[in-house]
Amino acid sequence: MRIDSLKLLALASSMALGLPLMAQQPATGAPAPKHQDTEVYEPVPPIVTPGATVGAPPSDAIVLFDGRNLDEWVSAQDHTPAKWIVADGILTVNKEKGVGNIETKRSFKDYQLHIEWRIPSNIEGSDQARGNSGVFLASTGPGDAGYELQVLDNYNNKTYVNGQAGSIYKQAIPLANPARKPGEWQSYDVVWTAPRFNSDGSLKTPAYVTVFFNGVVVQNHFQVQGQTLYIGKPFYKAYDKAPIKLQAHGDKSEPLSFRNIWVRDLTFDPSYTLK
C-alpha cells in the first residue's frame, strides 16, 4: 500500500513538473550521445553593427530614405523620378494631381523593414479619410492591388478594424492599437516572408508577415491570404521580387510624412538549419 502511494506520488510529481516518465535511452549498443553531437560552428553569422540608437539602420541595411533625397525611389506609375517632397529631413506625400504613389527602385524578396510615419497634427476627416496612406510590402505591378500594411490615424478614429493602422488591409485585424496622437512620429518594423510560386504560377507557400507598431506586436507571423483588395476576396498572383510602395491616398487635409526608412535582405539561407 505504501509502495503504491509512493509510486502515485512520483507519477503526480512527474506530471506536475512536466517531466517525461522515462528518460530517452539510446538504442542498445549505440554510442551514448554527447553534447557535441548537436553543436555546429559553421556557417558563422555575419557581423552586423547595430544602429547607434533604437531604430537607426544597422551596418548591413539598405537605406531607402535618410532625409536627404529620393534617389532610391521612383513614381509607381511610370518609374520616372519620384516627386514627393523632401524638406528638413522628412519625406512628405505630394498631393499634386498625377504624382501618385512612389516605390523603391530596388526589388526585394524576404526582408526586414523599418519605416517611420507621421500624421499631421491638424488632420481632419474621419474613418478611412483621416491620414490614410499605406506601406505596400510588395508592389507587384501597376494593375495589382499588392500587399498593404495600412497607415491611418487611429488614435481616436473609428473605422473597420481590418482597415485600421497596423492591419494587413482587409485581411488581418491588428492585435493591439498602440497608435500615437497625430503630430507624433510612429514606427513600423516589419518582417516580410514573400510567397513562393510553382513554375506554373500556382501558390507553393503563402506570404507571412510580422509587424511591430511603435514597438508593439500587431501582426504575429500572419499568413497572408493574397493581395489586399479593396473589393473582393484576396488572391495570389505569381511574382518573385517586388518593390516596396508608399501610398498617396488623396485625403483632403494635409498629407502624411515619412522618415528613416531602411531594409535588410533576409533571403533565407538553408545552411542555417541543423543537419
**Which residue lies nearer to Mg ion by CB, 219 or 247?**
247
Number of residues that bind Mg ion (CB under 5 A): 3
Site for Mg ion in 232-271 (CB under 5 A): 247
Instruction: Give the residue with the Cβ less far from Mg ion, 180 or 249.
Output: 249
Place of cell 495570389: 236
In terms of Cβ atoms closer than 10 Å to its own Cβ (0-12, 13-18, 19+), residue 58 is middle
- For Mg ion, which is the closer residue by CB, 227 or 247? 247
* Residue 10 DSSP SS3: helix
**What does the alpha-carbon distance between residue 153 and residue 130 come to, in Å, rounded to a whole number?**
6
In the complex, what is the shortest distance from the CB of residue 59 to Mg ion, in angstroms, rounded to a whole number? 32
Q: From the CB of 78, what's the least distance to Mg ion, in Å?
A: 21
84 contacts 107 by C-beta, under 8 angstroms: no
Min CB(126)–Mg ion separation in Å: 15
Q: Closest residue to Mg ion, Cβ-based?
A: 134
> Secondary structure of the chain: what % helix, strand, coil (to 5)?
10, 30, 60
Residue among 134 and 255 whose Cβ is closer to Mg ion: 134
Q: Which positions from 128 to 157 touch Mg ion by CB under 5 A, shown as an x/- string?
A: ----x-x-----------------------
CA distance 20 to 39: 24
Which chain residues interact with Mg ion by CB under 5 A?
132, 134, 247
